[in-house]
Structure 1
Amino acid sequence: MRIRAVSPDLLVEEIADSIAARPADSWTRVLVDGAPPTTPAEWADALAAPLRARGRAVVRVRAEDYLRPASLRFERGRTDPDVLYEDWLDDRGLIREVLEPLDPGGTGRILPALWNAETDRAHRADYLVVPPGGVLLLSGSLLLGRWLPVDLAVHLSLSPAALARQTPEEEHWMLPAYDRYDAEVEPSEVAEIVVRLDNPRHPAVVESTR
């Protein structure tokens, strides 16, 4: 593989170009995946304006709005890394309400938020229709390897040392979940676009030489 340094602004433009190059008569579902210190939501947000400038409608969805109720997430305690890895995300709800409607021939009608984890109540979000050629930007952590039907996956990568360094001490209980994710899913091998963010101000794109 080859590692290519790039500025954050140029990286956003390059990813937007890759997305906009896809067929304009069909929906494009883009997943931006990374551990919390990589701020996947901020990177997905940053893609919205460049995509709109390229003529694409954009809808943002955050995986945090598709978590399962607290009674299920915390059934075995609040700091169980295996439960974080396996059971926090409502995969089925996300597929049913967001991703499958954007399959070829789908309705295009999606629910951008299902569950408010802060209030532990259902969101009051309304359904919306993604126009043909629109782009869904889905951000979150531990998203690959779940059979989520997406068209392009971006993985924001950290070395184990960088992840530990950038994770607040009170959240270190999560680290085994990310170790397991790297070992079982190998997100850097699965995603179409891989970005190393050990230094957040100096990202680097991993380019395959195969």
Structure 2
Amino acid sequence: MSLAGGESLHKLLSGASSAGDAGRQEAAGMLIGFAVPFIGWLLLCKSTSHLAHVDPHPGNFRWDSALRTLWVLDWGSNVTLTAERRLSLCMLVSLIAAEAPDDAIADTAVAFGVRCTDPCQLARLWRGMLNATSSFAAQDAINVAAIDNLLDDVSEDVVPVVRCLATLGGLLKELQQTIRDEQGHDVPLSLAKLWATFAAMGLQS
């Protein structure tokens, strides 16, 4: 932490930084272009042999504009997945990015460690977690699932991953809302689409 320079993405995104709107736009670019892909790469490609960071709150990223360096903090929040879990997560991302049928998504979700008696509801849950929109984010999908008791039977090592997806989905939802309010149009920021390349890489490793 003592080595980390710059300002937190949280401060930059909120507009509280002295950099103002320019800093906010640069932080949004760093989040979408580097931070979110980095977390996806760790989860999908490195989480079996290395620690994968699972607390991607913008306060845990610092952007040093002068040095063009993005710092990632709080590595105490991490997860290590079995090879089977990691491959199942890769397959889930790939299936949702490809808009696969519900039964294929549900079967893969069960293999990942999330079980449900209704395959269609389970598939909708995962589509919601990996396809945030300006009005619906991963956290919304999880809240709906909690009401329907869909997440009562989740493997312990999967819980941090679900929380990570909720955090990222919320961030993408906020960015989409900002873009819509300022520019008047919706820009899709789907985790499944952003991570599809890493999922393909992970399935080959």
TM-score band w.r.t. shorter chain: under 0.3
Higher RCO (CA-CA < 8 Å; seq separation 6+): 1
Structure with bigger strand share is: 1
What is the TM-score with the length of structure 1 in the denominator?
Answer: 0.24
What is the TM-score with the length of structure 2 in the denominator?
Answer: 0.25
Structure with bigger helix share is: 2
